[in-house]
Structures are given as C-alpha cells and as structure tokens.
Amino acid sequence: MATRTSRPRVEPREPIRMPALWVAVTATVLIGVPLYLPEGTIDPIVLGVPLWLLVCVVAAVALSAILCVACLRWWSLAEPAEAAAEFEEDAR
C-alpha cells in the first residue's frame, strides 16, 4: 500500500516584502544619480566619456538585472492549486 504524502503548503512569493530587494534597489538608484559629484564635473574622462556617465549606465544595467531577477525568480504567479498539482506530478 502506497503512502500518500501531504501536499506542501504553497505560499505565494512576493518580492515586494523582501527588505534586501528594497535596499538593493535604493542603493542602485542613489549610486546611479551623480549627486555625490560637484556640479559641472567632467573629469575624469574614461573611454571618451565622463566617469559619471559610465557609473549611471552601470547602475541602470544593475537596476534592470535586480528587477529582472526579482520578477522572474522570486515572484511566483502560480496559483496554489497549480503549484500543488505540479508537486504531485514531480512526486510520481
């Protein structure tokens, strides 16, 4: 006689409730806005563009990556019934 395992309790995951995500997003936005440089700063020039421009571009790419990971990996859109059915299929 086969024993039946109980269904796991599937909690919907919401990345908005993750403090680390908010810290990462806030830090990335603050780094991306060059308010920490004196007004009119152009030097140093790196690869033909001001350093602050490279910092802004890197921060924008980092922000996009953080939000993509949050949406694609940490956010579960599956309904609990769908997730339980998937668990049962995996158990077979």
Mean pLDDT by 10 residues, the chain (92 residues): 55 73 94 85 86 92 94 74 68 67
Q: What is the pLDDT of residue 34?
A: 85
Query: What does the angle CA 14 – CA 15 – CA 17 come to, to the nearest 5 degrees?
Result: 80
> Rounded to 5, what percent of the chain is helix, strand, coil?
60, 5, 40
The residue extents of the domains of the chain are 20-34+47-91
pLDDT at 62: 97
Apex 81 CA angle, 75 and 87, nearest 5:
80
Q: Is residue 52 within 8 Å of 37, Cβ to Cβ? A: yes
Whole-model pTM over 0.85: no
